[in-house]
Amino acid sequence: MAMLRGIFGGLKKGLTRTRETFTSGLRSLLHGRAVDETLIKELEAKLIQADLGLTAVNALIEGVRAESRAGTLTRGEEVIDYLKTQLTALWPPEDRALHEAPAGTTTVILVTGVNGAGKTTSIAKLANAMVQQGKSVMLGACDTYRAGAVRQLEIWAERLDIHIVKGQQGGDPAAVAFDACESALSRNVDVLILDTAGRLQTQDPLMRQLAKIRNVIGKKIEGAPHEVLLVLDATTGQNALSQASNFQDAAGVTGIFLAKLDGTAKGGIAVAIRQTTGIPVKFVGTGETPDDVEPFEPVRYLDALFADEASG
Ligand SMILES: Nc1nc2c(ncn2[C@@H]2O[C@H](COP(=O)(O)OP(=O)(O)OP(=O)(O)O)[C@@H](O)[C@H]2O)c(=O)[nH]1
Ligand SMILES: [Mg+2]
């Protein structure tokens, strides 16, 4: 992926907590053991704890059992490589790149998610990465709902030295989106990123408001929003899955920004997301600074998830 190429290092660091609890526990569980039914049951419990999700865990466990019966998986130590191989197959090469507008048009990225998921911070990360790549970026503060939300985005815009379009606190977020699109077009910016208020996936009127914002953007710029990113907090565990399906229905989510992967000991959530929603995870957030982001790469993710403490 062209976007964000060259930003490395965060993922292994980000998954440290997962490794300290999940992986080291997994390795000591498997060490020196034969793959038998007792071990398989313990392995199953371990994988569930790590948030991989029941569908994935069931498939993995059935696979281990079948291989064990066939005599092709006998030593506990071989299990991790087996799991990694199986999980890699979950992510066939697919479009994890950001969808962009045709050259000469502004790419519009609409960012959504529940309260406190990490939307505004993740926007700063994306904007920072794009600026570093020489793109012109503008922000739109469509969170007119929470006091202080506009200011928070504005502070990031000042730090990153980029333009921001904002409206009145309590105003119509769709109107801000409209103004931002207009301003982006007139300034010919490459990328416009729109922040929105946090909302619960069960709050119907607020979810409908997202659809309205979408429509307004689409009328102003053809094909926009080109990307609807749902920011999920990796520490919320399996609730992230219901968020994903509800936001997908209401706002046509095209990609996931998985934030706070550094804050969880259950880094397997990306597996569960893949299994149950099919929405590609496009980015992972691994800290609170604008540099703490990287594109999601399955192999790197699985290597980090299952890395030895020694090699991490
Ligand atoms: N450790 C860690 N913290 C993060 C990450 N992303 C965001 N945060 C923190 O999470 C908190 C909430 O982040 P915001 O960006 O304000 O979240 P939001 O979704 O915009 O919140 P609302 O606008 O209130 O809905 C802040 O303290 C961020 O610093 C991450 O990848 N890792
Ligand atoms: Mg916010």
Q: What is the CATH number of the domain that holds 68?
A: 3.40.50.300
Residue 309 confidence (pLDDT): 56
- Exposure on the CB side of residue 209, measured as CA atoms within 13 A: 24
Q: What is the DSSP letter of 280?
A: P
Percent of the chain exceeding pLDDT 90 equals 68
Confidence of residue 4 (pLDDT cuts 50, 70, 90): very low
Confidence of residue 10 (pLDDT cuts 50, 70, 90): low
Residue 268 confidence (pLDDT): 87
Q: How far is the centre of ligand 2, averaged over its atoms, from the C-alpha of 197 (Å)?
A: 6
Residue 121 alpha carbon, nearest atom of ligand 1: 15
Distance of CA 248 to the CA centre of its chain: 14
Sign of the Cα torsion 178, 179, 182, 184 reads negative
Residue 106 confidence (pLDDT): 97
Residue 45 confidence (pLDDT): 93
Q: How far is the centre of ligand 2, averaged over its atoms, from the C-alpha of 24 (Å)?
A: 35
The residue nearest atom 6 of ligand 1, judged by CA position, is: 118
Distance of CA 23 to the CA centre of its chain: 21
Token duo for residue 32? 């020196």
Ligand 1: residues within 6 Å at CB?
113, 115-121, 143, 146, 149, 198, 231, 259-260, 262-263, 285-288, 292
Angle, to 10 degrees, between the axis of helix 204-220 and the axis of helix 173-187? 20
pLDDT digits (tens, 9 = 90+) for 73-120: 999 999 999 999 999 888 877 678 889 999 999 999 999 999 999 999
- The whole-angstrom separation of Cα 241 and Cα 262 is 19
Residue 152 alpha carbon, nearest atom of ligand 1: 16
The residue nearest atom 14 of ligand 1, judged by CA position, is: 118
Mean of the pLDDT values across residues 10-39? 82
- The whole-angstrom separation of Cα 199 and Cα 71 is 51
Residue 12 confidence (pLDDT): 67
Q: Domain residues for 34?
A: 1-312
Which of 16, 17, 121 to mutate for ligand 1's pocket (most ligand atoms within 8 Å of CB)? Answer: 121
Residue 124 alpha carbon, nearest atom of ligand 1: 15
pLDDT digits (tens, 9 = 90+) for 177-218: 999 999 999 999 999 999 999 999 888 899 999 999 999 999
Sheet holding 293-295, edge to edge: 163-166, 137-142, 191-196, 107-112, 227-233, 255-259, 281-285, 293-295
User: Ligand 2 is a single-atom ion; what residues have CB below 5 A from it?
Assistant: 119-120
Q: How far is the centre of ligand 2, averaged over its atoms, from the C-alpha of 85 (Å)?
A: 37
Residue 302 confidence (pLDDT): 87
How many folded domains does the chain comprise? 1
The residue nearest atom 5 of ligand 1, judged by CA position, is: 260
pLDDT digits (tens, 9 = 90+) for 164-180: 999 888 999 999 999 99
Mean of the pLDDT values across residues 259-265? 86
Q: How far is the centre of ligand 1, averaged over its atoms, from the C-alpha of 285 (Å)?
A: 10
Q: How far is the centre of ligand 2, averaged over its atoms, from the C-alpha of 299 (Å)?
A: 31
In 3-state terms, what secondary structure has residue 175?
helix
Token duo for residue 118? 């990490």
Q: How far is the centre of ligand 1, averaged over its atoms, from the C-alpha of 99 (Å)?
A: 24
Q: Do the beta carbons of residue 275 and residue 55 sit within 8 Å?
A: yes
Which of 235, 288, 293, 294 to mutate for ligand 1's pocket (most ligand atoms within 8 Å of CB)? Answer: 288
Confidence of residue 248 (pLDDT cuts 50, 70, 90): very high
Residue 36 has pLDDT above 90, yes or no: yes
Mean of the pLDDT values across residues 121-145? 96
Mean of the pLDDT values across residues 134-138? 96
Confidence of residue 66 (pLDDT cuts 50, 70, 90): very high
Q: Do the beta carbons of residue 247 and residue 222 sit within 8 Å?
A: no
